[in-house]
C-alpha cells in the first residue's frame, strides 16, 4: 500500500469512527474537505481519464476552500463502459448495478474489499442510530432469487445485504423466479409471524415491491399479521407509487395495517449504488440527515451553487467511503429541498433535507415540443 493510500485509509477510518450525527457542522465539513481532497489526489493518480476531468474543473480541488468547490461527477458517468475504476480489476470482489428501468443503462460501481468493508460499516452506523444496533430476525420482502446475483448485485439485493449485519436470521417472504410476478410465500410468512410475534424484528423491501407484491395482496385477501414490534425499512423511490397516487402517508398506513404495527415503525430511506454505504433514513420529523463521513449539497440548477434553506435543487452526495471507484462526489438526478443547515428538532446535527422527486428525463429535440423545459424551474 502506498503512503497516499495508507493516508486515505487512515483518514476514512477516523471519520467512520467519529460520532455519526453529532459533529459540529463546520468541524465536520473541514474534516470532510481534507479527506476528499486527499481522495481526489489518490483518484487522479489512478485514473488518467478522471485526472483529465479534474484538471478541467474551473477550480483546483487541491486548494478548494469548501466542499461545494470540489469537482463532482454526474451520476450518469457511472453508466460508462468500462466502469470507472480506481483499482486493478483483479481487486474487484463485486459489482453493484443500479435498478435501471427497461431500455436504460444501469450504473455500475466496482467494489474492492476495503470499500466493501466500509460500505457495510457505513450502513450499520447510520441505521443503528435509527433502529438501534441490536441484531434481530430479518424479514426480507423480496425473493431469494433477487439475492442470487453472483458477482454482480442489483440495487435491491445490495440494499437487502446492507442490512444483514442487523440480522440474527433472514427469511425472504416472496417467491418467484424472475419470469413471473413475485408472490407471497404464505407458509413462510405465517411461520415467521407465528415464531416472532411480539419480538422486535426488522423488515426491508423496495418501496414498490412492498406495496405491489405484499401490502396489496394481503389487503385483498383480508390477511393481517401480528408483528407489533416490527421495524419496516424501505427504499427505492416513490415514482411507481406516485403513478398509482399512493402517498407516503397512505403507504405507511397500509404497511402498518398489514403488519399490525403503528405507522411510525415504517421508515423510508434514500440511497443509491453510486453512494454505496450511505443511507438517508427519515428522522421522526420526516427529514433526512447526513453522517459524519458524508455530505449532501443541494445545488441550484441555474448556478450550481448551494441553495439556501427552504430551497430546492439538484442533490449532490459526497462520501469518503469508496476507494475502488470515484464515488466521492456525485451529482444525482434527484431534486431535494434543504430544510435546515443545522438544528433539526430530532437532534441530529448538520443539513436536514427532504427528497422531492427525480428529475424527468429531457429529450433533445431541436425545435421540439419539449414543453417541460420552459416550465418554471423547481428552485425557488
Partner 1 sequence: MPELVQQFDSARDVTAAAQRVRERALERELTPAQVIAMLERWGESLRGPTVDAIPGVTFLRLWLRRGTLEPMVVRELGVAGLNGEWHEEHSTRLRAYPLGVVGHWPAGNIEIQPWLSLSCALLGGNACLVRVPAGLTVQTRALIEKFSEVAGSGALLERICLASFAHERADLQRAMAAAVDGAMVWGGAEAVTEIRALPFPPWARLAVFGPRLSVAAMDGASWSEGAQRQTWCRRLARDVWQFDQQACSSPQALFLERCTTGDLPAFATMLAEAFEAENRLHPRASIHPALTSAICLARASWLITDSAHRALFPATPDWTLLLGAGAAVPSPTQGRTLSVLLVDDLREPIARFDGMVQTLGLAVSDPAKEAALTHAAGRTGVDRIVKLGRMHLFGSPWDGADLVRPMVRLVRHSPANTD
| 25, 74, 260, 343: which one binds partner 1 (CB under 8 A) | 74
Q: Tell me the C-alpha distance between 325 and 85, whole Å.
A: 5
| 34, 49, 219, 221: which one binds partner 1 (CB under 8 A) | 49
CA angle 174, 215, 259 (to 5 degrees): 95
| 6, 17, 24, 59: which one binds partner 1 (CB under 8 A) | 59
Grid cell listed for 93:
470482489
| 27, 223, 303, 310: which one binds partner 1 (CB under 8 A) | 303
Number of H-type helices and E-type strands within the chain: 11, 16
- Report the residue count for the chain: 380
| 7, 14, 45, 53: which one binds partner 1 (CB under 8 A) | 53
Pick from 143, 201, 138: which is nearest to 164 by CA? 138
Pick from 357, 343, 266, 338: which is nearest to 295 by CA? 338
| 19, 76, 178, 347: which one binds partner 1 (CB under 8 A) | 76
Interaction residues for partner 1, span 310-349 (CB under 8 A): 313-314, 331, 333, 335
| 25, 106, 260, 301: which one binds partner 1 (CB under 8 A) | 301
Q: Does 367 bind partner 1 (CB under 8 A)?
A: yes
Residue 22 CA, distance from chain mean position: 20
Instruction: Pick between residue 183 and residue 239 the one whose CB is nearest to partner 1.
Output: 239
Q: How many residues bind partner 1 (CB under 8 A)?
A: 47
Q: For partner 1, which stretch binds (CB under 8 A), given 15-23, 67-75, 183-191, 343-351?
A: 67-75
62 CB-contact burial (10 Å; exposed 0-12 / middle 13-18 / buried 19+): exposed
Task: In angstroms, give the least distance from the CB of 313 to partner 1.
Answer: 8
Task: In angstroms, give the least distance from the CB of 353 to partner 1.
Answer: 15
Conformation bin of residue 29: beta by default, left when phi > 0, alpha when psi is -120 to 50: alpha
Q: Does 307 bind partner 1 (CB under 8 A)?
A: no
Q: Are 16 and 293 in contact, with CB atoms under 8 Å apart? A: yes
Grid cell listed for 59:
477550480
Q: Does 264 bind partner 1 (CB under 8 A)?
A: no
Residue 46: CB atoms within 10 Å? 18
Instruction: Pick between residue 180 and residue 376 the one whose CB is nearest to partner 1.
Output: 376
Q: Does 374 bind partner 1 (CB under 8 A)?
A: yes
Residue 248: CB atoms within 10 Å? 16
Interaction residues for partner 1, span 346-365 (CB under 8 A): 359-365
Q: Are 212 and 184 in contact, with CB atoms under 8 Å apart? A: no
Task: In angstroms, give the least distance from the CB of 376 to partner 1.
Answer: 7
Task: In angstroms, give the least distance from the CB of 249 to partner 1.
Answer: 26
Residues linked to residue 174 through DSSP beta bridges, in sequence order: 143, 184
Instruction: Pick between residue 3 and residue 364 the one whose CB is nearest to partner 1.
Output: 364
Task: Return residues touching partner 1 (CB under 8 A).
Answer: 48-50, 52-53, 56, 58-59, 69, 72-74, 76-77, 80, 84, 301-305, 313-314, 331, 333, 335, 359-379
Amino acid at each position: 500500500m502506498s503512503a497516499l493510500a495508507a493516508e486515505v485509509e487512515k483518514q476514512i477510518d477516523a471519520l467512520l469512527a467519529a460520532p455519526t450525527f453529532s459533529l459540529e457542522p463546520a468541524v465536520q465539513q473541514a474534516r470532510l474537505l481534507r479527506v476528499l481532497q486527499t481522495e481526489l489526489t489518490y483518484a487522479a493518480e489512478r485514473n488518467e481519464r478522471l485526472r483529465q476531468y479534474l484538471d478541467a474543473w474551473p477550480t483546483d480541488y487541491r486548494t478548494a476552500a469548501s466542499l461545494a468547490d470540489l469537482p463532482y461527477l454526474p451520476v450518469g458517468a457511472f453508466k460508462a463502459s468500462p466502469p470507472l475504476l480506481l483499482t486493478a480489476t483483479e481487486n474487484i470482489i463485486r459489482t453493484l448495478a443500479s435498478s435501471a428501468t427497461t431500455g436504460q443503462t444501469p450504473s455500475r460501481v466496482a467494489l474492492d474489499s476495503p470499500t466493501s468493508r466500509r460500505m457495510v460499516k457505513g450502513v450499520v452506523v447510520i441505521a443503528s442510530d435509527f433502529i438501534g444496533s441490536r441484531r434481530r430476525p430479518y424479514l426480507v420482502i423480496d425473493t431469494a432469487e433477487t439475492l442470487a446475483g453472483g458477482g454482480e448485485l442489483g440495487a435491491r439485493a445490495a440494499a437487502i445485504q446492507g442490512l444483514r449485519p442487523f440480522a440474527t436470521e433472514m427469511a425472504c417472504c416472496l417467491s418467484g423466479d424472475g419470469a413471473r410476478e413475485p408472490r407471497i410465500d404464505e407458509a413462510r410468512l405465517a411461520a415467521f409471524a407465528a415464531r416472532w410475534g411480539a419480538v422486535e424484528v426488522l423488515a426491508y423491501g423496495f418501496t414498490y415491491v412492498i406495496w405491489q407484491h405484499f401490502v396489496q395482496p394481503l389487503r385483498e385477501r383480508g390477511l393481517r399479521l401480528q408483528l407489533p414490534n416490527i421495524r419496516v425499512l424501505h427504499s427505492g423511490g416513490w415514482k411507481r407509487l406516485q403513478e398509482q397516487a399512493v402517498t407516503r402517508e397512505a403507504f405507511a398506513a397500509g404497511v402498518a395495517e398489514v403488519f399490525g404495527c403503528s405507522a411510525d415503525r415504517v421508515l423510508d430511506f434514500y440511497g443509491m449504488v453510486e453512494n454505496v454505504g450511505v443511507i438517508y433514513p427519515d428522522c421522526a420529523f420526516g427529514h433526512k440527515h447526513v453522517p459524519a463521513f458524508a455530505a449532501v449539497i443541494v445545488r441550484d440548477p441555474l448556478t450550481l451553487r448551494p441553495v439556501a434553506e427552504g430551497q430546492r435543487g439538484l442533490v449532490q452526495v459526497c462520501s469518503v467511503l469508496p476507494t475502488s471507484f470515484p464515488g466521492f462526489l456525485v451529482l444525482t438526478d434527484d431534486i431535494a429541498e434543504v430544510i435546515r443547515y443545522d438544528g433539526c428538532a430530532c437532534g441530529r446535527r448538520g443539513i436536514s433535507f427532504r427528497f422531492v422527486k427525480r428529475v424527468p428525463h429531457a429529450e433533445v429535440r431541436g425545435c421540439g415540443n419539449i414543453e417541460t423545459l420552459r416550465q418554471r424551474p423547481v428552485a425557488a
